[in-house]
Amino acid sequence: MILPLLQVAAIAIVAIYLGRWRAGVLRRNAQSWDSLLVRLRPDWSAHNLSEHFLWKEGLDATPDETWKRIEGAHGLWAMYQNARVMLEMADYADRNCESVDRELVEALRSDAMQIRVCVLMALTKYAFSHASEGVRVNAFRAASMYTGMAARMTRLLQENAAVALPDFVAAM
């Protein structure tokens, strides 16, 4: 008697998962460029991370200065969320532009995942030890990768959608 109930429950769970996955794919494919830009965090800007933030990779600050510039955990969380949005922007470009540089899109995808992992590590350490040296170093690494990703996204837009570049620069 219990085995048929477990089978029905397992099938129901798989069906619900597949339905939610399919709805997510449809929602992702229906997104417009403007809807992606709106999702970038308007309450936090990474312009003060580097003098040439969107045009050149790397930081010109120490881990301590970077921690102050990103406003601590607030900036880490904003980078985490914006990395996801820029990942979706790269996917959007890949789906909608035939001449897009596939290696650049793959680099953006890799950057987004690395940033998200690094930020989660930094936030976990921050939860236990506040702004220790390890937290500041992880935040520095995440911010450095973030500036690199933003510079690559700028390059992708310059090459494939120059009209969208001013909106991206304004949103960042």
Cβ(48)–Cβ(69) below 8 Å: yes
Q: How far apart are the C-alpha atoms of 98 and 119, rounded to whole Å? A: 32
- Rounded to 10 degrees, the C-alpha dihedral 151/155/158/160 comes to -130
Res 115: pLDDT = 92
pLDDT tens, the chain, 172 aa long: 788 888 888 999 999 999 998 988 788 777 887 788 888 887 777 777 766 666 666 677 788 888 888 888 888 899 899 999 888 888 888 888 777 788 888 888 999 999 999 999 889 888 887 767 878 888 888 888 888 888 888 888 887 777 777 777 777 7
Domain boundaries, the chain: 1-30, 33-171
Close Cβ partners of 81 (under 8 Å, ≥ 6 residues apart): 41
CA dihedral 38, 118, 50, 70 (to 10 degrees): 70
Long-range contacts of 66-72, Cβ-Cβ distance < 8 Å, separation of 24 or more: 66/136, 66/139, 66/140, 66/143, 67/131, 67/135, 67/136, 67/139, 67/140, 69/143, 70/46, 70/139, 70/143, 71/44, 72/126, 72/131
Q: What is the pLDDT, as a whole number, of residue 154?
A: 85
Tell me which DSSP letter residue 131 carries: S
How remote is the C-alpha of 119 from its chain's centroid? Answer: 10
